[in-house]
Amino acid sequence: MDPIRLVALAMGSGVAFGVGVVALSVLGVELLRPAAPSSNPTVGPSFYLLVFGTLAGLILAGVVAWRLLAPVPSTYRRGGLSMVAGLATVIPMLLCMPVNQIAGTGGLAGLAAVSLGISTLLGACARRAGADA
The 10s digit of each residue's pLDDT in 17-55 is: 999 999 999 999 999 887 777 777 777 888 999 999 999
Question: Does residue 42 or residue 99 have the better pLDDT?
Answer: 99
- Reduced 3-state DSSP string for 22-89: HHHHHHHHHHHCCCCCCCCCCCCHHHHHHHHHHHHHHHHHHHHHHHHCCCCCCHHHHHHHHHHHHHHC
pLDDT tens sequence across 74-96: 999 999 999 999 999 999 999 99
Give the CA distances from residue 68 to residues 77, 78, 120, 133, in Å, rounded to whole numbers and listed in that order: 13, 9, 11, 14
Is 38 a domain residue? no
39 in any annotated domain: no
Is there a domain that residue 81 lies in? yes
pLDDT at 42: 72
Q: Domain residues for 111?
A: 3-31+47-131
Sign of CA dihedral 12, 17, 18, 19: positive
Q: Is the pLDDT of residue 133 over 60?
A: no
pTM assigned to the model: 0.92
Is 103 within the bounds of a domain?
A: yes
Domains identified in the chain, total number: 1
